[in-house]
């Protein structure tokens, strides 16, 4: 059985004062029955890790060290206490021109450091409107996912770009169709055992009001949550909904 995961992505948000939100989460749910993680800015990862809630980084460099001013390696994140790292988020692909090959290399770097990669794929609104969603996702999977993906080292996150932070979400039928297709593709690529073990998260305007419906869809193993992960009062109901669906 795949263990469900509720992961938060704080993006470029979070100062020391905001650690109080993570403290509230840890105090309210010291031992949730599902996996949880908050992926925070590099400046906070070490302090977040000390609060008793699993944490991750939002990105990493493919190299372990070197002349890469301003970058952070997977090893540095692990040393700071992270257990996860996000790779291939659409904002990295769009804002920094990251290619599938870049995402592939960063994912392998995560494994090298002992981190679990939360690898993101997703289509733009134009691609969605053109009916190209599955073609885009299959292409991103082929280029971004290294050989050797397993349920232990990789989580796949489907985030339709047009739904991130917009308040829009695909219909339940659309999410279900995409996740079913992704599951089939994972099995075809990595074999039945690994393909069934890799968790597939949904991301894109997930909030307390729609979490239960989304988590009731087959092959949705949790969520990668953006804005609603910044506050305990918003994120904990999503964790509750995932526990209820488990």
Of 89, 98, 123, 179, the catalytic one is: 89
* Cα–Cα distance for residue pair 240/244, rounded to 1 Å: 6
The secondary structure element, H or E, covering residue 175 is helix 172-190
* Cα–Cα distance for residue pair 232/20, rounded to 1 Å: 9
Task: Report yes or no: 223 and 242 within 8 Å, Cβ to Cβ.
Answer: yes
Any long-range contacts for 146-150 (C-beta under 8 Å, 24+ apart)?
146/104, 146/107, 146/108, 146/111, 148/111, 149/186, 149/189, 149/190, 149/194, 149/198, 150/190, 150/194, 150/197, 150/198
List the structure tokens of 113.
């450091």
Active site residue 89: yes
**Among 75, 70, 81, 157, residue whose Cα is nearest residue 109:** 75
Active site residue 123: no
Chain centre to alpha carbon of residue 88: 9
How far is the CA of 141 from the CAs of 123, 129, 147, in angstroms?
12, 20, 11
Of 21, 75, 123, 159, the catalytic one is: 159
Catalytic positions are: 89, 159
């Amino acid at each position: 059985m795949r263990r469900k995961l509720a992961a938060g992505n704080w993006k470029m948000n979070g100062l020391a004062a905001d650690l109080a939100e993570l403290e509230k989460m840890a105090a309210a749910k010291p031992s949730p029955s599902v996996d949880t993680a908050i992926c925070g800015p590099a400046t906070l990862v070490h302090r977040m890790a000390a609060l008793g809630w699993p944490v991750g980084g939002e990105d990493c460099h493919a190299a372990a060290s070197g002349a890469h001013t301003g970058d952070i390696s997977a090893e540095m994140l692990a040393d700071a206490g992270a257990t996860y790292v996000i790779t291939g988020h659409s904002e990295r692909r769009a804002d920094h021109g990251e290619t599938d090959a870049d995402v592939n290399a960063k994912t392998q770097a995560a494994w090298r450091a002992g981190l679990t990669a939360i690898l993101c794929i997703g289509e733009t609104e134009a691609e969605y409107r053109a009916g190209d969603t599955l073609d885009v996702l299959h292409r991103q999977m082929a280029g971004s996912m290294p050989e050797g993906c397993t349920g232990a080292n990789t989580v796949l996150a489907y985030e339709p770009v047009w739904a991130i932070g917009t308040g829009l979400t695909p219909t339940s039928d659309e999410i279900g169709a995409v996740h079913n297709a992704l599951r089939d593709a994972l099995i075809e690529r990595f074999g039945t055992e690994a393909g069934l073990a890799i968790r597939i998260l949904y991301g894109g305007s997930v909030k307390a009001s729609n979490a239960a419906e989304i988590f009731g869809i087959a092959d949705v193993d949790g969520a990668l949550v953006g804005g609603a992960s910044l506050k305990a009062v918003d994120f904990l109901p999503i964790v509750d909904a995932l526990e209820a669906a488990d």
